[in-house]
Structure 1
Amino acid sequence: MPEVFVTTSDQLPEGGRATVRAGKHEIGVIRAKGKLHAFLNLCPHQGGPVCAGLMIHKVEEIIAEDHTYQGMRFNEDVLHIVCPWHGWEFDIETGKCAGDGAVGLRRFTAVERDANVYVIV
């Protein structure tokens, strides 16, 4: 499988992102939660540049034992990337859509070697 150079490791700090062309595809590589995550930079909703979106922790509703609504909180364990066009959210670990787990981003493998970041296409 061919590898495509993305950037140097020092140019992709925690929370950083970079995009690269690989043939007819644009792939976004994101360093989040200490790992590299690579996705086709194409939201399945309407083709927006999903990898350019905001990263935010999952928002959860708080429901008490008596089933009353208690507010909302951020789940610091789950990070989402939000498409800038229409707000579709995707789990950064799995690429699955937060609203519909049957929909997701196309994943690629990103590797770090010799202080460089590559994506396998």
Structure 2
Amino acid sequence: MKDVFVCQEGDLADGSTLVVSNTGAEIAVFRHDGAYYAYRNYCPHQGGPACEGVRMPKVVENIDEAGFYRGQSFDESEFHIICPWHGYAFRVTDGVNANDPKLRLKKFDVTVQDGQIYVRI
């Protein structure tokens, strides 16, 4: 395994994403709540660019006690990466699909050394 330089720490603002291809494959680095996460930019569903979609809070279906649908809301405690091809949602923090835990993005370790961000591949 080797560490591949991604960018300077100040180059990636919280809530932003950077896709790099100098690793042999496209890898997206996310900064979320001050932490860094890196995934291969490849959706396990049909190979779409999973990490290039929107990043949004978890969508919650609101069903009342009688079983009636009462709309949707957002759970700000869990953010998802949404694949732009077919809308598959993956948790930012671990890359696991929101509906099927067998589907997950390939995760890479991220380190910060002397103000520089590296991905271990």
* SS of residue matched to 1:25: coil
Query: Contact 2:82 / 2:88 at 8 angstroms: preserved in 1?
Result: yes
| Superposition RMSD in Å | 1.3
- The Cα shift of 1:23 comes to 4.5
Q: TM-score, normalised by structure 1?
A: 0.92
User: Alignment length, in residue pairs?
Assistant: 121
How big is each residue's C-alpha offset from its partner over 1:37-72, in whole Å with a ceiling of 9 and x where there is no partner?
Answer: 100111111211111110011101112223222221
Note if 1:105 corresponds to 2:105. Answer: yes
Note if 1:74 corresponds to 2:85. Answer: no
Structure with the higher strand share, 1 or 2? 1
Tell me the distance in 1 between the aligned counterparts of 2:8 and 2:31. 12
Query: Partner amino acid for 1:47?
Result: G
Tell me the distance in 2 between the aligned counterparts of 1:106 and 1:22. 17
Match of 1:9 in 2: 9
Query: Contact 2:19 / 2:27 at 8 angstroms: preserved in 1?
Result: yes
Q: Which runs of 5+ in 2 are unaligned?
A: none
How big is each residue's C-alpha offset from its partner over 1:84-103, in whole Å with a ceiling of 9 and x where there is no partner?
Answer: 12211111112111121111
Match of 1:34 in 2: 34
Name the % identity. Answer: 40
Match of 1:96 in 2: 96
